[in-house]
Structure 1
């Protein structure tokens, strides 16, 4: 069931959306236009027709350029490939715009570093769209995990989206599951077990990659990642083991519609308070360092 948020007392954050692909239409535009914490002020994409199709259902302005988009908003949401985000997000930050960023921050560590540096240098609010982190089930799992002594963990994030369809896009097919799915699972394991201190990996991220993670508390965890396997629905599962009964997190039954109001409220609250959240660009850079370490370990 979708939880109705408390009344929003402040004016909505005017957000410009960069991108007009399937994810921009299905999530970003719809979420930002729903308010009351945000208003979809404008949409810009390199394909103008796609931008019009994304903006029209919500009555948003179609910007003719990225510069025009920046003139019409106080925050920018990105729903574009990592390389495009890494190119444009620093420009928006330098213009004083708050940033709602997709993961990964960039296609590689150097690009991610530039995004994080721009955010830090400009002193703007940033927030990552790590979808599952905004679901109450995830929050409850992480709260429970903090009370546990964890000796080891095993986890997976598996789906078949790379086999065909809207999300079998160029950057995902090139880089595979590590860059696309890795941030989600690494973030959860890093928080649920303890900070990750070492990574070993085997396999091919375009088919199946297996990670062995060493943690600060001495625990070891396993992570299986693939976007190229035929499964009835996406599988995201984390199991924690130790002296107590295992603690399991499984997203099979969660309704992702419950994430969007929480994500929107968290972002708008951070923008209005001008205070960073724990899911900011710095967290994105931390996760990208882990991804880079894992990628290097497979070579």
Structure 2
């Protein structure tokens, strides 16, 4: 499968481009970016072509991997699907519910496969744990924490990008937490509560269709010593925690494998654009509550 990369930022440079070049079943056909000089540099590093025009790249490939801010991703994903390209998307799918719906509609109408790269869902140990807990059932409560220090201190992370500064932890790491909780505890009937914590930290309470409730704590401005991700479930089977381990490159390789499989057999992936839309709907609902709380 010929695949192109849309984006030249830190995630594209550190993870996407190396994975696409190394993948045995992919032909890394080219790069397009909003900064042509960055696209030229990244393409030269990985022995591929830099495209000046995104539509030219879309006409030359079978699929695209996207490493762009969510509002830009949504617009280009619609164009890519319209050009018949399968979609390997980043989370969140879009910055608005309307944008995410457009991505789902475009992918459905074009009958292209889509996989959203919720990183934890593609870590082998975590993926096995999620499937096992979903089969076990009987969960009473869940608690997820995703705490980063992207905007903490004088030395900011390369991921301290403008869209993260604007949208905060809710939209950046919130999708990770939801991507783990939903397949285990079921869809969310209602975001029961949402409250602000220190800096950009937010706390959510979720009511799931299974009858379980969960709490979520998210931050991009935690003290460095407090950072990390953790999910704990408690129920009739006792208590269990999400295993740690794995790396982003390995997870993206698995996501690419699963996009290939979905494109081949036509079966929707559990982390497809429709699931990405549901996550976006929950983020928007939480954002509405947070805005009300701030008033």
Give the TM bin, normalised by the shorter chain. over 0.9
Of 287, 290, 293, the residue aligned with 2:279 is 287
Structure-1 residue corresponding to 2:10: 22
Q: How many residues align?
A: 286
* Long gaps (5+) in structure 2: none
Question: Which residue of 2 is the match for residue 203 of structure 1?
Answer: 196
Q: Indicate the residue corresponding to 2:100 in structure 1.
A: 112
Q: TM-score, normalised to structure 2's length?
A: 0.92
| 1:205/1:126 CA distance change after superposition, 3 Å | farther
Find out whether 1:169 has 2:169 as its counterpart. no
1:138 is matched with which residue: 112, 126, 148? Answer: 126
Inter-partner Cα distance in structure 1 for 2:65 and 2:249: 18
- CA displacement 1:212-234 (0-9 Å, x = unmatched): 01111211111000011122484
**Structure 2 counterpart of 1:4:** none
Cα drift, residue 153 of structure 1: 1.3
- Which moves more between the two structures, 73-82 or 189-198? 189-198
**Alpha-carbon spacing, 1:133–1:233, altered in 2? closer, same or farther (3 Å):** farther
| Distance in 2, Cα, partners of 1:74 & 1:206 | 42
Pick aligned residue for 1:46 from 34, 43, 58: 34
Aligned to 2:149: 160
TM superposition shift of 1:249: 0.7
Asked whether 1:259 is paired with 2:259, we answer: no
Q: Do the aligned residues in 2 keep the contact of 1:176 with 1:206 (CA within 8 Å)? A: no
Residue 286 of structure 2 corresponds to residue 297 of structure 1: no
The superposition leaves residues 10-52 of structure 1 with CA deviations (integer Å, 9 ceiling, x where unpaired) of xxx1001111111001111111111111121010112111001
Report runs of 4+ in structure 1 exceeding 6 Å deviation. none
Alpha-carbon RMSD across the aligned residues, in angstroms, is: 1.6
The residue number in structure 2 matching 1:148 is 137
Q: TM-score, normalised by structure 1?
A: 0.91
CA drift at 1:198: 1.0
Consecutive unaligned residues in structure 1, runs of 5 or more: 1-12
